[in-house]
Amino acid sequence: MKPFLIVGAGFSGAVLAREIAVQLNHPVLVLDERPHVGGNCHTERDPATNVLVHKYGPHIFHTDRKEVWDYVHQFDDFGPFVNRVKASISRGIFSLPINLHTINQFFGVRLRPEEARQFLAGKGDASIGEPQNFEEQALKFIGPELYHAFFQGYTKKQWGCDPRELPASILKRLPVRFNYDDNYYYSPYQGIPRTGYTHIIQRILDHPKITVKLGTLFKKEMLKEHEATFYTGPLDGYFDYLHGRLGYRTVFWDRFEGEGDYQGTALINYPDVNDPFTRKIEHKHFMPWETHAKTVVFTEYSKETTADDVAYYPKRLKSDLELLARYQEMARLESREKNLFFLGRLATYRYLDMHQVIGEALDFSRKFFAWQVDPKKAICPVFSGQ
């Protein structure tokens, strides 16, 4: 019996491996080129402070899908955590997402919810019909003052381009609230695993039918040695960047270690373009049930991704989507010939949160199992999320 091969030991690969092992009782080999499981969700104890650090940037688990919430709870207990982001600008510290407190504080007014709604509507640019880009979306719905204070500079730093080059859909994900709710997410289920994300993925992969090999590069010759292959790495990378690289932004950090409490919260954004960094992350605040005399802070910077960088945020500009279509067509042809499937953030070139990755892996596994039972009746998609 040839094992299934899964390339990547992040949430996509781990969840799919577990489902195959449990549901099909079939051996699975999981490869990852990194020396640890967890992908960009990897957490580890900082040796100098004993703070649990999100090594590749902050990850707050949130979902409105109870099945996903119940799934991760099989592998660790979650402590309560509400993401209350602050923004530091020259005028002071403000709450994000924009809410009634932000509006009243920023404009120096004392508005009730409906008054604030009408007030902000009056700030918007009514001459903009259907917004064609990020900047137009912001100007239409929140007006120039809030846009320039909180979004314009931050967006330039985060994405490395003018906001007018970005699609309007990016800003649609950022809510405006006309109450004092400063919870960054609407999701009913939110928290942080008490033992860390790496611990969860280690437990997901802890099954007698699953073998994990770390520090191991995937080679296409491996395809013929396995019943089927599930690839969660970069889609363009699978094809050796034959038509060029898909556009990503990456991030990097300066580390600061000190005594006590540095900023009083986990995340503070710095929207001012004069600040070269985008935000500061104080990791111990992600686990408020722990007590630490010392602290560790990461100052985050954003830049264009090169061949040696970890890809984080897909840019999805027009040129990227045209290139994506070419790679997707190649993937479909390759899949038919080699029993090959693509899933996860990198392989589908989409920005996905952890809960979306887990949910898609669960959904994909069900489609794959149905297809295994009866290929004539069931269709197994080449890409997760389809």
Cα–Cα distance measured from residue 89 to residue 350, given in angstroms and rounded to the nearest whole number:
30
Q: Are 1 and 228 in contact (CB under 8 A)?
A: no
Catalytic machinery residues? 173, 177, 249, 279, 300, 351, 353
Residue 264 lies in a domain: no
Query: Three-class SS of residue 3?
Result: coil
Question: Are residues 162 and 105 part of one domain?
Answer: yes
Task: Take residue 311 and report the two structure tokens written for it.
Answer: 């890809």
Question: Are residues 218 and 360 part of one domain?
Answer: yes
Question: Are residues 101 and 68 part of one domain?
Answer: no
Q: At what angle do helices 100-107 and 113-123 cross, to 10 degrees?
A: 60
Question: Are residues 202 and 157 part of one domain?
Answer: no
Residue type, 287: M
Please work out, in degrees rounded to the nearest 5, the angle formed at the alpha carbon of residue 14 by the alpha carbons of 339 and 8. Answer: 65
Residue 13 lies in a domain: yes
Question: Are residues 198 and 160 part of one domain?
Answer: no
Cα–Cα distance measured from residue 10 to residue 7, given in angstroms and rounded to the nearest whole number:
9
Residue type, 295: T
Residue 263 lies in a domain: no
Question: Are residues 162 and 62 part of one domain?
Answer: no
Question: How deeply is 361 buried, as exposed, middle or buried, from its count of CB atoms within 10 A (0-12, 13-18, 19+)?
Answer: buried
Question: Are residues 219 and 361 part of one domain?
Answer: yes
Please work out, in degrees rounded to the nearest 5, the angle formed at the alpha carbon of residue 85 by the alpha carbons of 289 and 130. Answer: 145
Cα–Cα distance measured from residue 280 to residue 302, given in angstroms and rounded to the nearest whole number:
12
Residue 382 lies in a domain: no
pLDDT of the residue at 173: 61
Query: Three-class SS of residue 302?
Result: strand
pLDDT of the residue at 193: 98
Tell me 115's DSSP state. H
Query: pLDDT of the chain along its 386 residues, tens only?
Result: 899 999 999 999 999 999 999 999 999 999 999 999 999 999 999 999 999 999 999 999 999 999 999 999 999 999 999 999 999 999 999 999 999 999 999 999 999 999 999 999 999 999 999 999 999 999 999 999 999 999 999 999 999 999 999 888 877 666 799 999 999 999 999 999 999 999 999 999 999 999 999 999 999 999 999 999 999 999 999 999 999 999 999 999 999 999 999 999 999 999 999 999 999 999 999 999 999 999 999 999 999 999 999 999 999 989 999 999 999 999 999 998 899 999 999 999 999 999 999 999 999 999 999 999 998 899 899 999 98
Question: Are residues 362 and 322 part of one domain?
Answer: yes
Question: Are residues 238 and 207 part of one domain?
Answer: yes
Residue 189 lies in a domain: no
pLDDT of the residue at 48: 96
Q: How many CB atoms lie within 10 A of CB 331?
A: 20
Question: Are residues 159 and 102 part of one domain?
Answer: yes
Cα–Cα distance measured from residue 119 to residue 143, given in angstroms and rounded to the nearest whole number:
10
pLDDT of the residue at 168: 87
> 164 Cβ partners below 8 Å, 6+ apart?
133, 134, 135, 136
Can you give the length of the chain in residues? 386
Residue 276 lies in a domain: no
Domain boundary pick from 141, 172, 203:
172
R_g (Cα) of the chain, nearest Å:
22
Question: Are residues 64 and 102 part of one domain?
Answer: no
pLDDT of the residue at 167: 86
Q: What is the DSSP string of 226-261?
A: SS-EEE-S-HHHHTTTTT-PPPEEEEEEEEEEEES-
Q: What is the DSSP string of 67-100?
A: HHHHHHHTT--EE-----EEEEETTEEEEES--H
Task: Take residue 269 and report the two structure tokens written for it.
Answer: 């954004």
Q: Are 355 and 66 in contact (CB under 8 A)?
A: no
pLDDT of the residue at 102: 98
Cα–Cα distance measured from residue 304 to residue 313, given in angstroms and rounded to the nearest whole number:
10
Kindly report, residue by residue over 149-208, the tens digit of the pLDDT. 999 999 999 999 999 998 888 776 667 999 999 999 999 999 999 999 999 999 999 999
Residue 381 lies in a domain: no
pLDDT of the residue at 174: 63
pLDDT of the residue at 63: 98
Residue 257 lies in a domain: no
Task: Take residue 268 and report the two structure tokens written for it.
Answer: 């503070």
Q: Are 289 and 195 in contact (CB under 8 A)?
A: no
Question: Are residues 64 and 21 part of one domain?
Answer: yes
Q: What are phi and psi of 49, to 5 degrees?
A: -120, -15
Q: Output the domain CATH number for residue 25.
A: 3.40.50.720
For the chain, list the strands marked E by DSSP.
4-7, 28-32, 43-45, 52-54, 61-63, 78-79, 85-89, 92-96, 189-193, 210-214, 229-231, 248-259, 267-269, 279-282, 294-304, 313-314, 340-342
Q: How many domains does the chain have?
A: 2
Range of the domain at 224: 4-78+194-243+314-373
